[in-house]
C-alpha cells in the first residue's frame, strides 16, 4: 500500500470514528471501546451475565467486555481476561497475557481456575487479516478450535459461549461444530456492530461435550 493510500485510509477511519454514535457514547460514558455496547445489547436480550456468573473473556483488550462483565458480577474475581496484547487492569480481574491458541496460555488459565468450571466463555478474538483468504480462514479456524477445546475443558455443563465469527468459508463449519456441543445456537448481530462489517456472533447455550446434533435458532 502506498503512503498516499495509507493516509487516505487513516483519514477515512478518523472521520468514521468521529461520526460513530457508539464511539461518542463510549467516550462520554467511560467505556474503553465501542464494543462495550455490543455485549451490552446481547446481554440485555439474552441475559448472559448474572451476579453469580463466572466468566472467561478471550481476546479481551482493550478491556471493554471485561469492564462490562466486572460491573455486573458479584465480585470481579469471578472474571478472567486473556489477550496477547497488554491491557490496562480492570480492578479485581485476573489477566493473562499471551496468544490463546498457544496451549501453554490456555493451560495457565485452567491452572488459575482450578477445579471450578466457568459459566460463560466470551470470545471477541479475530485473526490479523493478511488479505490471503486461505491464510485468514485457517487462522480463524485455529482460533475457534482453541475456543472449543477450552470449553471442553473448562465450561460447566449447561454453560454458555458467545464467540465472534465472520461470514466467510469457515462460518458454516463452526456453526456445525457448535451445534454438536450446545443444545441451542443463535446467530446474533447487535446494532452496535457496523452494518458493513462481516462480523457476527454465535451464541451457544446448554453446553455438553458430545456429538449429538443440537438445534440452531435465528
The pLDDT score that the predictor gives to residue 58 is 98
> What pLDDT does residue 209 have?
72
pTM value is 0.88
The predicted pLDDT at position 31 comes to 87
Any idea how long the chain is? 218
- Predicted local confidence at residue 215, as pLDDT: 44
Amino acid 122: pLDDT: 99
Low-confidence ranges of the chain (pLDDT < 50): 8-13, 211-216, 218
Q: What is the pLDDT of residue 17?
A: 61
Residues 62-82 as b or e (16 or more Cβ within 10 Å = b): bbbbbbbbbebbeebebbbbb
Predicted confidence at residue 14, as pLDDT, reads 56
**What is d(CA 86, CA 63) in angstroms, rounded to the nearest whole number?**
10
Question: What DSSP letter does each residue of 99-128 carry, written as one string?
Answer: -TTSHHHHHHHHHHHTT--EEEEEE---PP
What is the model's pLDDT at position 7?
53
Residue 18 among the catalytic residues: no
Of 25, 164, 189, 215, the active-site residue reads 164
Domain edges within the chain: 31-216
Class of domain 31-216: alpha beta
> Which pLDDT value is given to residue 213?
36
Express each pLDDT in 50-92 by its tens digit. 999 999 999 999 999 999 999 999 999 999 999 999 999 999 9
Amino acid at each position: 500500500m502506498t503512503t498516499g493510500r495509507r493516509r487516505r485510509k487513516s483519514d477515512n477511519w478518523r472521520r468514521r470514528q468521529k461520526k460513530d454514535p457508539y464511539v461518542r457514547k463510549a467516550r462520554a460514558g467511560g467505556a474503553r471501546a465501542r464494543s462495550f455496547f455490543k455485549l451490552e445489547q446481547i446481554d440485555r436480550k439474552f441475559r448472559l451475565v448474572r451476579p453469580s456468573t463466572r466468566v472467561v473473556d478471550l481476546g479481551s483488550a482493550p478491556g471493554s467486555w471485561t469492564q462490562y462483565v466486572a460491573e455486573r458480577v458479584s465480585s470481579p474475581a469471578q472474571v478472567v481476561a486473556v489477550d496477547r496484547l497488554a491491557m490496562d487492569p480492570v480492578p479485581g480481574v485476573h489477566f493473562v497475557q499471551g496468544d490463546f491458541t498457544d496451549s501453554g496460555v490456555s493451560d495457565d488459565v485452567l491452572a488459575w481456575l482450578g477445579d471450578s468450571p466457568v459459566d460463560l466463555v466470551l470470545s471477541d478474538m479475530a485473526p490479523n487479516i493478511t488479505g490471503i483468504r486461505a491464510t485468514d480462514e485457517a487462522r480463524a479456524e485455529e482460533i475457534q478450535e482453541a475456543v472449543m477445546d477450552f470449553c471442553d475443558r473448562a465450561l460447566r455443563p449447561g454453560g454458555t459461549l458467545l464467540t465472534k465469527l465472520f461470514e466467510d468459508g469457515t462460518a458454516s463449519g463452526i456453526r456445525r461444530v457448535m451445534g454438536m456441543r450446545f443444545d441451542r445456537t443463535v446467530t446474533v448481530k447487535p446494532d452496535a456492530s457496523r452494518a458493513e462489517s462481516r462480523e457476527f456472533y454465535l451464541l451457544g447455550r446448554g453446553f455438553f461435550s458430545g456429538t449429538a446434533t443440537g438445534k440452531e435458532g435465528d
